[in-house]
Amino acid sequence: MTRRTEWPGSDAEPAPDPGAGPDYGTGSGGGFGEGAGRRARSRSRSSGSPSSSRAEKGEPRDPVEQARDICLRLLTGTPRTRKQLADALRKREIPDEAAEEVLSRFEDVGLIDDAAFADAWVESRHHGRGLARRALVRELRTKGVDSAVIDEAIGQLDSEQEEETARELVARKLRSTRGLDRDRRLRRLAGMLARKGYGEGMALRVVRQALEEEGEDAEGLEEPF
């Protein structure tokens, strides 16, 4: 008799709302699939579950079930991209066919949504950490997000908003540089912006304007890069 695999988001178990916006900056929050993760833990504690019975008898677990449980655990607490989950399944030696089946099903029910992940990542990391577009692109690429999806998410930020954030970052840091000579202040403040992904031209312009507004003579300051 063919065994039926239960999937999150089926008629028996409604899928979590993939639109919930977790806090990416802190790593806390519900994430896509928190409810599914709780259901998975509840099932795993049940002594009558098929997987528990097979484990007690020493029988090998179905790789699809293994892949599903691994993904649900990883999605509990924080969303992840498809590539992150695929890498985790590969590391645990889940067969490619089983991994592909589970990952595709999770995408179908909204538990994996790289576009939503990228949108939330840009929103959180720009407003929470002040990262510029260049830094955000680099981070999303390391997480395996497709270039077209990245471009769409980064489109949330325009150059004016990015420059305004750079000004806010400099304003918060400016006081701690008082007492230093002009060149060192320029290097320290512009270097801070560079580490967050801001371009040289914008960084110099924003820092010089901030120093001038404070009464410093910013003419003739050396280039920090």
pLDDT tens for each residue of 34-48: 444 444 444 444 434
Task: Give me the pLDDT at residue 206, please.
Answer: 95
Distance between CA 171 and CA 207 in Å, rounded?
9
Please give the model's pTM, rounded to 2 decimal places. 0.69
Residues 6+ apart with CB under 8 A from 99: 67, 86, 89, 90
Distance between CA 108 and CA 123 in Å, rounded?
24
Distance between CA 13 and CA 37 in Å, rounded?
12
Q: How many CA atoms lie within 13 A of 125 on its CB side?
A: 23
Whether the CB-CB separation of 18 and 32 falls below 8 Å is answered with yes
Indicate the range of 47-56, 57-66, 121-130, 164-173 predicted with least confidence: 47-56
> Which band of pLDDT confidence, cut at 50, 70 and 90, is reported for residue 99?
very high
Over residues 21-74, the pLDDT tens digits come to 444 443 433 343 444 444 444 444 443 445 555 555 556 789 999 999 999 999
Q: Which one, of 215, 211, 224, 221, lies nearest residue 170 by Cα?
A: 211
Q: Which one, of 141, 165, 170, lies nearest residue 153 by Cα?
A: 141
Q: Which residue has the higher pLDDT, 11 or 212?
A: 212
Q: What is the CA radius of gyration of the chain?
A: 24
Residues 6+ apart with CB under 8 A from 117: 79, 80, 81, 143, 145
Task: Give me the pLDDT at residue 53, please.
Answer: 53
Residue 143 has pLDDT above 50, yes or no: yes
Residue 121 has pLDDT above 50, yes or no: yes
Residues 6+ apart with CB under 8 A from 132: 126, 162, 165, 166, 193, 196, 197, 198, 199
Greatest alpha-carbon span in the chain: 83
Q: Which residue has the higher pLDDT, 1 or 184?
A: 184
Whether the CB-CB separation of 122 and 154 falls below 8 Å is answered with yes
Residue 166 has pLDDT above 60, yes or no: yes
Question: What's the full length of the chain, in residues?
Answer: 225
Q: What angle do the packed helices 63-75 and 34-45 form, to 10 degrees? A: 130
